[in-house]
A and B are shown apart, each in its own frame.
Chain A
Amino acid sequence: MPFKKIILFICFLFSYISVFAQTQVYVRVDKTYVEVKEEISLTLSVSSDSTDIKSPTMPSLPNFNIYSSGQSRNVSMINGKVSVNVRFNYILSPRFAGKSTIAPFTIEVGNKIYKTEPIDIEVYRAGQSNASSNNANQNSAYAGAVAYKDKIKNTNKKANTSSTNTKQTNTANIPQRQQLPAFFMTAHADKKEAYLNEQIDLRIRFYQSQSTFGNPQYDRPKMEGFIFEDIKTNQGYETLAGVKYHYIEFVTALFGILPGKATIGAAKVDYVPSNGVMEAFDMFFSSSSKPKTVDTDPIDIIIKPLPQEGKTSAFSGAVGSNFKIETSVDKPTLFAGDTLVLKTVISGVGNMRSIDALPPLDLGPSFRIYDSTSSSNSKITEGKLGGTKEFQTIIVPRTSGNFSIPAFKLQYFNPEKNAYETVSSQEIPLKVLPAKEDQQENSVQFFSQENAPQGKRVEKISSDIYYLKNEGISPLTKTLTAVKELGKYNYLLFVVIGLALLISFLKKGEIEFFSSQKTYLRARRKISKAQTMNDIAPALQEYLSAKQGQALGITTVAQSAKNLKLELSTSTLLNSFWQELEMLKYAPADTLKNTVALKQSVQKALNLLKQIEKEVK
């Protein structure tokens, strides 16, 4: 019976767990009162024991520009229970001043639909900020989710700062205390002062010497006055004051965008501490383990403007080191009026986003230059953000001649050397040939500089597409299309070829038959057209020769009957007819042309021919 009780207990436990199987969905923004074009960080968090978490459906947000900044997913097994924590991060940039609402997000978790609550955002124009609104910014906005079909464990209260919560200084130094708390955080910036667009490394660490229920939730600090890129996440163990701590470190590269004081806000971690078996049971039976929070103090950084000394017009806005600039063209020789693509690639260590545009390119009136398009690529090398920025410029030469694209000069500020440095690309020679004939015909006329007529020059003002076309199809297209459109009937071709080959293969003699048939028909034709008696004999002789495959003399024709194995009657007929023909050779010319006799002989010859053909076949 105890066994039954255990089973019952397990069933009860599982049913209890399933009843309390919880999914939490909430959306949070870092501020609700923002300036136009300021960035709002929005996080949609889903915690569930279901691993089936679909991508959220975003509401229509016409008042914001939205960028996804990735997602993070943590799956953990605690006490045999799977817990999944997914965070979808977005950056929102308001487009208009006034009150806007972020409509609810919907997300499907384990075949159930969840919907977050809407969040109101007040957007002001620069300089409209007031004290009351600042208060709104003090606390990060937080909207709980409304679960339609599931219970939600609401944790949207700012966690109490209990004895285990400890604010730390903004240095990397661990507080020198006799006894360190079980959970604490540190934040450290590698520079207190930095130049505009100079990289500052921010390292935020969360230490824990005890386990937690679920995964601790990290909230990135507000970084006003900076643009930032995540560099990496480290984790490991460290022994502090004799206690072994596990830590997670978030490394972020920051770049100051305005001179003056910029502040890195407080980073925060929400967690639920777990101290032992009893607390694990507390999870199911009116928990005594409440969510707690640790955070860091804000860090002030002084952003210095770039020095004016040494700054030239070639300064691109780039700050960093090892910058290079390279240019290339898609073709070194082209015709006037053709399109040339000039590719300029800037690479180096620094924030590529700070490079706005290329130095102006002046190629004189012989070229038309269109606006450049650009794309950038970020790369992290040894903890430093760098990458490439590529510009593509369309250039159309208007006249022929030998030209060159001058070298581009790029000046950047190197904070390590505290000086401006200049790099330049190579000059590119360019050969422009006179415009092609068809281009000249089409009203676009270019003149080479050398051959340009004196006085008024024809100058291309702009280009446009050609006018509408009439439905005209060339005979070539018509013919080939017609054949193609025979469609399945074309496959008869294979049948025809196959049949022809099959017949010739199976009946090899068929060819000889045709040949034989041809000989017979030719002999018949000749005999029928005979003008005199003497015309009949050669035709018959030729026929018999062909049949035997050898040339026969006059004397040997008589032997043909034997060779061809003709029947006796036919053989007799052939011999007697041949003798008749032999005799006629010596007859007077009138006799030979006697139409009645000729007709009779022709008929006789034709009958004989028919008979021989029949027997030989």
Chain B
Amino acid sequence: MAKLLKKLTLLIFVFALICPLLFAQESEAQKAYNQGDYLQAAQLYQEQLQNTSKPSAALYYNLANSYYKLGLTPKALANYYRAWRLNPRDKDIRHNLTFVMAQNVQSLIPSDVPESAFNLFFYLSIIELEGLLWLLGWLFALVLILVLITSNKKLRQILILTTICIGLVGVWYWVRLPFDTKPLAVVNKTKAEVRSGPGENFPVNLSVPRNHIVEIEDRKGQWSQILIPSENTQGWILKEDLEEI
């Protein structure tokens, strides 16, 4: 018992030591942001990102805010988008993302999709959707076992309901997955040239404005093939002209 108490005390001591350090770093970044030292804030948030295996939406959001204040809008946009993918229900993230997109003639919600449908479709993040699917799976297994043991009528109904839920969530997940896994990028060059092939020798077909979000379809050396959904046009652009999301 005494040994256990000793271990517990040690654990609490170590935790107490580490915790303030963790929070101190965050407050340092926040402090830098509040003082208008956005570069320092961005560096600190970037460090936190590098030191964590599970970056949070808030961390991406704060980093994006720092980049935005620095005038690095493409980087800000990319990080807001990452934050939104992790937490699509967050109002602050949604506001800042749509705010920056609107400044660049873009809209998060496609014009032909009702806002309520969009909000419902993106109510859960893809991680949450996957978690929900597994949770329903476990519930199904549990109810199935109980039904096999007891043959209870109510449990049978619950089993049917769970199966329907799994089917619906499964379809939702399957439809959502491409939206969350397709590689996107933000154009980080003013009027970036888009060519018909992966090389300087191919003619420039169009130019894309800075901060425009594009889909990456292929990569070849220093070039990325992009799709501009708003124009339904494809082309090749230098990788260095893109900030990948």
Contact = CB atoms under 8 A, between A and B. Distances in A.
Interface of A: 55-56, 58, 67-71, 88, 330-331, 339, 341, 370, 373, 375, 377, 392, 394, 438, 442, 463-474, 476-477, 479-486, 490, 493, 496-497, 500-501, 503-504, 511, 514
B112 to A, nearest CB: 9
A471 B141 contact: no
B65 interface: yes
B206 to A, nearest CB: 7
B115 to A, nearest CB: 10
B99 A463 contact: yes
Judged by DSSP, the binding face of A is: mixed
Contacts of B134: 483-484, 486, 490, 493
B128 A480 contact: yes
B58 interface: yes
Given A55-B201, A511-B151, A471 B102 contact: no
Contacts of B203: 68-71
29 contacts: A58-B200, A67-B204, A68-B193, A68-B195, A68-B201, A68-B203, A71-B201, A88-B200, A330-B107, A330-B111, A339-B98, A339-B102, A392-B105, A465-B65, A465-B96, A466-B92, A466-B95, A467-B65, A468-B62, A471-B56, A477-B128, A480-B124, A480-B130, A480-B132, A481-B128, A481-B131, A483-B132, A483-B138, A500-B144
Contacts of B130: 480, 484
A88 B131 contact: no
Given A68-B200, A497-B140, 14 more contacts: A67-B204, A68-B201, A70-B203, A331-B111, A341-B105, A375-B207, A466-B92, A467-B92, A468-B62, A480-B127, A483-B132, A483-B135, A493-B141, A503-B148
Contacts of B132: 480, 483
A476 B89 CA distance: 11
A545 B62 CA distance: 72
B166 to A, nearest CB: 11
A465 B100 contact: yes
A563 B65 CA distance: 83
B87 interface: yes
A477 B137 contact: no
Interface in B164-208: 193, 195, 199-201, 203-204, 206-207
A490 B137 contact: yes
Given A88-B201, A341-B105, A373-B209, A482 B131 contact: yes
Contacts of A481: 127-128, 131
Contacts of B204: 67-68
Nearest to B137: A493
A464 B87 CA distance: 21
A142 B213 CA distance: 42
A470 B29 CA distance: 12
Contacts of B209: 373
Nearest to B128: A480
A471 B124 CA distance: 18
B26 to A, nearest CB: 7
Contacts of A341: 105, 107
A479 B129 CA distance: 11
A490 B136 CA distance: 11
A375 B206 contact: yes
Most buried by A among B68, B144, B207: B144
A514 B149 contact: yes
B91 interface: yes
Contacts of B129: 480
The 5 closest A-B pairs by CB, nearest first: A480-B131, A484-B131, A339-B102, A480-B128, A483-B131
Contact of B33 (A71, A468, A472, A482): A468
A378 B244 CA distance: 30
B145 interface: yes
B58 A472 contact: yes
A330 B115 CA distance: 13
A463 B107 CA distance: 17
Contacts of A55: 199-201
Nearest to A396: B102
Given A56-B200, A472-B58, A496 B141 contact: yes
A71 B202 CA distance: 7
A67 B137 CA distance: 57
Contacts of B193: 68
A466 B33 CA distance: 13
Contact of B59 (A438, A471, A496): A471
Contacts of A88: 200-201
Contacts of A480: 124, 127-132, 135
A479 B131 contact: yes
A346 to B, nearest CB: 17
Contacts of A490: 134, 137-138
Interface in B49-77: 56, 58-59, 61-62, 65, 68
A486 to B, nearest CB: 7
Most chain B beta carbons < 10 A, residue from A56, A68, A503: A68
Given A476-B128, A480-B132, A497 B95 contact: no
B41 to A, nearest CB: 9
Contacts of B195: 68
A186 to B, nearest CB: 28
A469 B124 contact: no
Which of B30, B134, B199 is packed against the most chain A CB atoms within 10 Å?
B134
A511 B87 CA distance: 46
Most buried by B among A88, A330, A483: A483
Contact of B141 (A463, A474, A497): A497
A493 B138 contact: yes
B116 to A, nearest CB: 13
A70 to B, nearest CB: 4
A23 B181 CA distance: 47
B105 A394 contact: yes
Nearest to A90: B200
Contacts of B144: 497, 500-501
B58 A470 contact: yes
Interface string B3-38: 000000000000000000000001000100100000
